[in-house]
Amino acid sequence: MAESFRVLHPIKYYRDYIASNVRPDGRGLHKFRPVLVNIGSIQTADGSALAKVGDTTVICGIKAELCTPKPECAREGFLIPNVELPPLCSPKFRPGPPSDEAQVASQLLANIVKNSKCINLQELCLFPEKLAWCLFADIICISYDGSLMDACIIALMAALKSVQLPVVDYDPAADSRLVNEEEKKSLNIKSVPICSTFSIFDEKVVLYDPTDEEESLCSSTFNIVVREDQLSSVHKPGGAPISDEKLFECIKVSKERASTICKLIETAIHENNT
């Protein structure tokens, strides 16, 4: 009975739950789902991590390739994040070229990486104008259940922290390169941005860390990215308007959550190394 009511009148079903300050999955309105991080899940990648936020699961693999820097930024390497939402992760995605949602997620991720300056691209350059590292960060969603960005950022940052790049000897005169696979070094990650997702239900109730069902019923979803004690992005792409006090309340909560998740990534990296 309850299940058919949920399918036929989803909004009414949610309204009844939210009126008593609880969500259908048993969480309170202001509760986040548990987060899980696993480092080094893919052996063939130069760095990899798996992140789970509730039932949302993403895996990130980083492949490093040698390339020539762009003429306009001759002293910089590349970090190219790409989010894939294959049909296996949710019935709402179809096979074929990347959906709009996947493209928007990739762009948002690239913006966050750029804004938070978590990695200095100049350190990826081996010789100006000649040789640089290009890091392809492929993020594949295995199970989609809302708050995609949270999981993507955690997986990307954990994977970047686990990257081991071989030392390259480059001779500019002879244009010869010698890759020393024996000797490897990690990347210098300056800071770890952490994203938190929120949804606005019925234009007034803010739900933290929404599931896929909640996201589709809510009139607006927004992300807050925190780097240390600073903000590196407050991204609200339209949807229902939000009052200032609720917005700043969410910013405060994201800051608290960011420090816990940073610690989680640190612990995962530490345990992987020992």
Partner 1 sequence: MAKVLTDRAYIEMNYRPKAGLPCVQDRFYEAILKNTCETALAASLFPRASVVITLQEMHDNGQLISCAINAACLACLDSGIDMRFMFAAMTCFLTNNGDLHLRTPEVKEDIDAIFVFVFDSVKKNVIVSHTEGTFKTENYKLALEKCREGSETVFKFMRKEITKE
Return the SS3 of 31. Answer: coil
Q: Is 41 in the site for partner 1 (CB under 8 A)?
A: no
Site for partner 1 in 247-266 (CB under 8 A): 247-248, 251
Closest CA to 268 of 184, 120, 154: 154
Q: Please, what is the minimum distance in Å from the beta carbon of residue 161 to partner 1?
A: 19
Stretch that binds partner 1, among 16-24, 163-171, 220-228, 264-272 (CB under 8 A): 220-228
Nearer to partner 1, 40 or 146 (CB): 146
Q: Is 189 in the site for partner 1 (CB under 8 A)?
A: no
Site size for partner 1 (CB under 8 A): 33
Q: Is 106 in the site for partner 1 (CB under 8 A)?
A: yes
Stretch that binds partner 1, among 15-23, 44-52, 84-92, 225-233 (CB under 8 A): 225-233
Q: Is 232 in the site for partner 1 (CB under 8 A)?
A: yes
Q: Is 73 in the site for partner 1 (CB under 8 A)?
A: no
Relative to beta strand 131-143, strand 125-127 is antiparallel
Token pair listed for 56: 């949302």
Token pair listed for 117: 């300056």
Q: How far apart (Å, rounded) are the C-alpha atoms in residues 251 and 211?
A: 20
Q: Is 115 in the site for partner 1 (CB under 8 A)?
A: yes
Task: Give the list of residues 6+ apart from residue 140 with CB closer than 8 angstroms, or none.
Answer: 58, 59, 60, 61, 84, 86
Q: Is 143 in the site for partner 1 (CB under 8 A)?
A: no
Q: Is 111 in the site for partner 1 (CB under 8 A)?
A: yes
Token pair listed for 133: 């590292």
Return the SS3 of 124. Answer: helix
Q: Is 72 in the site for partner 1 (CB under 8 A)?
A: no
Q: Residues interacting with partner 1, by CB under 8 A? A: 100, 103-104, 106-108, 111, 115-117, 219-220, 222, 227, 229-244, 247-248, 251
